Amino acid sequence: MINKKPIKVAVGMSGGLDSTIAAFLLKQQGYDVIGLTMQIWSGADSIKIKRNGCYGPGEAKDIADAKKAAKKIGIPHFVVDLRKEYQKIIIEYFRNEYKKGKTPNPCVVCNSKIKFGLFLDKAIKGGITFDYFATGHYCRIKLDKINNLYLLKTGIDKSKDQSYFLYRLTQKQLSKILFPLGNKKKNDIREIAKQNSFTEYANKEESQNFIECNNSSNIFSLGKPGEIIDIKGNVLGSHNGISRYTVGQRKNLKIGGLKEPYYVLKIDNKKNQIIAGPKNLAFSNKATINNINWIVPPRLITDKQIKAKIRYGSNFSECTLKIKNSKEATLYFTKPVFAVTPGQSAVLYNKDVVLGGGIIVK
């Protein structure tokens, strides 16, 4: 009898707990595992760090932690230099969206174009071979054999579910991805780490956001000062750049003498103005999305009532879906939703299945 060659899996290792344990579990399950880490930071190492993020001067330590974890697990480890690609695709996207008065989500774009795209392509071109790619994301993939369709599903740990960030993945990408943590809870992963001498990773601070600096002004120009006005055009105050604000924001408006708190209602990049008003005016009963990526084809979406997330940290909002064409649709919310923000992603779900999603236009 001929022994089958073990399946080779490349694991995207960030130097954190989740990707470390994902690699460890796959190794325990008998896969031929290798570790891959992206190098994306091209700024100065002298920038002061306030909180941990995926993009910042702390990258060198994260790479070192990934190498250390790979050695402990007993797997090869490689670093893939994506600094030029990241600047061109993610940083420029981030800057351009803010200049337009929108609030971008770089993680969504990074996952589809970099982490599950160019990262793997460049590794393969560099002579690194593998059958599947795995990450420490808390979500699941299931093959719908009836429709021959790979489904992206939420992780069982609802507090850690990361399917929102992955809605732009294609069928081709999903067919070659493994999510070892999708059926586990975060506390289980911490316990596995402690029981297998990965305690330092269990205690490591998690990445909280995109930028790992005091604020994005360390890296990006946030625009010129301008006016803050109400919906009638009355000047309420001034701002230091529209890129410092997002729809629904209350802090840092610094408007005095009002009977009630005001929130950002709209950002007008052409006039360089922030439009603010009372909270009740920041609710919307619908949202238009475009640039849609469908994981489940529209023809298979039979339920009129679905649910949507309009940002990662938001609750699910029940809505009906009216599809204009393959790339544009309108969501009609059952209850008005606070701070529907242009530039953010609206991700559509049917129970625990990601149908797809798009970028909020208005």
Give catalytic residues, as residue numbers.
Answer: 110, 213
Distance CA 192, CA 112 (A): 29
What residue type is 362 in one-letter code?
K
Q: Name beta bridge partners: 308.
A: 317, 348
Helix or strand holding residue 194 (H, E)? helix 186-195
Q: Which amino acid is at 177?
A: I
**Burial grade of 197 (CB within 10 A; 0-12, 13-18, 19 or more):** exposed
Phi and psi dihedrals of 238, rounded to 5?
Answer: -135, 160
Residue in 35, 38, 17, 19 with CA at minimum distance from that of residue 180:
19
Query: Token pair of 44, please?
Result: 């100065």
**Residue at token pair 């002061």:** 48
User: How many Cα neighbours within 13 Å face the side chain of 163?
Assistant: 30
The answer to whether the beta carbons of residues 55 and 211 sit under 8 Å apart is yes
Residue given tokens 């049917």 in the structure block = 350
Nearest to 164 by CA among 107, 234, 95, 98: 107
99: helix, coil or strand? helix
Rounded to whole angstroms, the Cα distance separating 247 from 287 reads 14
Q: What is the DSSP string of 294-323?
A: ESS-GGG---SEEEEESSTTSPPEEEEEEE
Helix (H, G, I), strand (E, B) or coil at 55: strand
Integer-rounded Cα radius of gyration of the chain: 22
Cβ neighbours for 39, distance < 8 A, ≥ 6 positions apart? 59, 63, 79, 80, 81, 82, 83
CA nearest to 313, candidates 243, 217, 248: 248
